[in-house]
Amino acid sequence: MMLIKLGGSVITDKSQYRRFDKEAVSRLCREIARSGRQTVVVHGAGSFGHILAKRHSIQNGYSSKEQIPAVAMIQHDVRELSSMVVAELLEAGIPAVSVPPGSCFVMDDGKLVIGDEEPIRSLLKIGIMPVLFGDVVMDRKKGFGICSGDQAMEALAKMLKPEKAVFVSDIDGLFTADPKKDPDAKLIPEVTEEAMERVSIEQSVDDVTGGVAGKMKEMLDMSKNGMDCVLINGSVPGNLQSLLEGKEIRCTVARAQR
């Protein structure tokens, strides 16, 4: 089984509030279906989550009651986004259902806790893909917080032991510097703990869950459990399908010492 995260930067326009990229999502869902691989899809929030989350400091937890309407609004927005992603999976012939982390689970000081695995396992058993996503989730210590799609990936990887975890973004992988600013930036095909220390941490986009270098650190941590974590560019048509079919593509693989 392959675990796939469709990043918010590929499924939405991150600079415009609630702008869904139907064309990209439809293509990616068809690529998944055509690969014939068993997959579980997680997705990010993009502009359906980050813009309001940042404005109201949702990632830092509860600080004032003024945040509450924003908490509910973000949950509403990411559920709408998830419905649109699931609609494209269904259209591509993949039975799928949204499993909103904020409605099904809690967090404990920023860490997602999946208390009961039965709903997810039962869906998979019957042949329906459970789709988790970046959401606002109630937190035992902080009141609430942001559960990123990456955290959902980590929890699902522990539970389902996939062959690979694939992070679909709008960049080819991790670079030695920010490729949007530095023409000498080079793609790093394989990341180890040691290589990570040489990477510029400037490669961050304006979001509340921490940029490319932060993502790569999480991927390295995840890969300690024995599976490769791959960052690929989903804006390039055919890339996801090729990777799922086991072909070589331009990407960054995170592989921790095991």
Q: What does the binding site for ligand IPE look like in residue numbers (CB under 6 A)?
A: 7-8, 44-46, 49-50, 53, 74, 78, 134-136, 146, 148-150, 207-209
CB-based contact 80:11 (threshold 8 Å): no
- Helices 22-35 and 68-91 pack at an angle, to 10 degrees, of 50
Integer angstrom CA distances of residue 94 from 4, 130, 216, 222, 245: 14, 11, 29, 27, 17
Smallest separation, CB 64 to ligand IPE (Å): 19
C-alpha atoms less than 13 angstroms from C-alpha of 17 in its C-beta half-sphere? 8
Determine the straight-line distance between the first and last CA of the chain, rounded to whole angstroms.
21
Residue 134 vs 179, nearer CB to ligand IPE: 134
Smallest separation, CB 48 to ligand IPE (Å): 8
Smallest separation, CB 45 to ligand IPE (Å): 4
Residue 49 vs 179, nearer CB to ligand IPE: 49
Smallest separation, CB 179 to ligand IPE (Å): 18
- Phi, psi dihedrals of residue 228, rounded to the nearest 5°: -75, 145
Residue 95 vs 236, nearer CB to ligand IPE: 236
Residue 48 vs 175, nearer CB to ligand IPE: 48
